Structures are given as structure tokens and as C-alpha cells.
Amino acid sequence: MYFSNCSVLIRLASIFAILCMCLPLSGCGTMENGRRWGEDVSLMPGWEKVGESAFDALTSPLVFIPATSALLLQIGDADGRLSDWASDHTPIAGSNDRAKQLSSDFHSSSSYAFYLSILATPSGNDPTTWVTSKMKGAAVQGGATLLGHTLMNEMKETTGRERPDNSDDLSFPSTMSFGSAVFAGFASKNIHAMNVPSPAKTGMNVVVHTLPYAVAWERVEAKEHYPSDVLAE
């Protein structure tokens, strides 16, 4: 019962975060540096910028800690044993079907937070420049998300890992966990650009970063993925 209540609280917290984002939804004004969000987007950022972004991603604790954990789970079949325990006991969801539904709900909350964060970023007061900046920023983040999903699907086809429930061989990696993590990452960047008090930014960031972990765990409880599948994404 305790864990079921926790899942409800997480969902309520995600709704609260979305409502908080609605407060500055007009997205007027500019960022602290005086620029509009999305204004400086370029189709040709240059290899130096690409290299910096790749280095930041690879050295981020949000990347190497889960990846290392996924590797460690291969020792002594800890991956399979943890998967069996989670899907048999379903401590948070209470059932595999409920876990599957919760993972979908949490993933949807991540996507809503992402889309609303785009609207809430400050992109100027002029309607024309506002729309232009929003389109440029959304195109970059949306394009990166689409590319990531394409790569994840290719990896699924290449690795051919069978799911814990033996339904198919598309277990690794978890695209739903990946999608939620990407949505959370971009939403966090957008929250950083908002003209809201620091405590509000911190609260929203905590929620949007919690959602991917909730999605990942529920995919394991649903017997759709092994723990390493959701960690490696």
C-alpha cells in the first residue's frame, strides 16, 4: 500500500510541475542574458560545438552512472534475478498490467512537461519573433529526440534481446525509458531558461528528472524490460 501511494504521489507531483509551468506560459521577455530562447539556433553549429556537447553528455553523471550500473548487473545474472523479483512482486504497481499503464502515464507526463517547457521559455514580446524563436528551438530539440528514437530502434533490431515475458526480441534498449529521459533532459534545459524564481526551477527539475526513473522501474515491473535495458538507454 505504501508503494502504491508513492506512485500516486509521483503522478500528482508531475501534474503540479506541469501547472507550475503554465504560470509563465506566455513565454514573453528574454532570458537573463538578454537573448530570446531559440534565437541563436543554427543548422550548422560547427564541429567544436558538437564535440563540446558530446563530451558534456558522456561525462555527465546522468549518463555514465546508469551505464556502469547496467554493466555491473551482468555479474552473476543480477540483471535477470532483479527482473524476476520486480515483475513477480510488483512492489509499486501491484500488477504487471498496472505497471505497464503507469509507465505509459509517466512517459506521457514527461512529454507534456517537455512541450509546455518550450512554450514557457522567454522568446520575446513581438509575436513574429516569438513564433520564429519557438519554431527554431522546438525544431532542434524535436529533431534530436526523433534521431535518438531512430537510433534506439536500430539498436533494438541489432541486439535482438528477448524480453523477460518472451513476447519478442526487442528488449534492449528501452525506447520508452529513453524517450522519457530525453524529454526530461530538454525540459530541464528549458526550465533553466525560464524567468521564474530559483525554488520553482528546483522543484520542477526534481519532478521532471524523477519521471524517467519512474518510467524505467515500471517497465521492469511490467516484465517488458530487464533493469539493464532501462539503464543503458
Q: What DSSP letter does each residue of 57-103 carry, written as one string?
A: HHH-HHHHHHHHHHHHTTGGGHHHHHHHHHHHH-TTTSSHHHHHHHH
Average pLDDT for residues 36-62, to the nearest whole number?
62
SS3 163: coil
pLDDT for residue 99 is more than 90: yes
pLDDT for residue 133 is more than 80: yes
pLDDT for residue 1 is more than 50: no
- Residue 229 vs residue 29, higher pLDDT: 229
In angstroms, rounded to a whole number, what is the distance separating the alpha carbons of residues 18 and 113? 6
Average pLDDT, the chain: 82
pLDDT in tens, 182-193: 999 999 999 988
In angstroms, rounded to a whole number, what is the distance separating the alpha carbons of residues 76 and 133? 51
Average pLDDT for residues 39-66, to the nearest whole number?
64
pLDDT at 45: 57
- Residue 37 vs residue 208, higher pLDDT: 208
- Residue 21 vs residue 36, higher pLDDT: 36
pLDDT for residue 2 is more than 50: no
CA pseudo-torsion sign 114, 120, 122, 126: positive
Domain range annotation of the chain: 2-232
In angstroms, rounded to a whole number, what is the distance separating the alpha carbons of residues 181 and 111? 10
For residue 218, name the pLDDT band (cuts at 50, 70, 90). very high
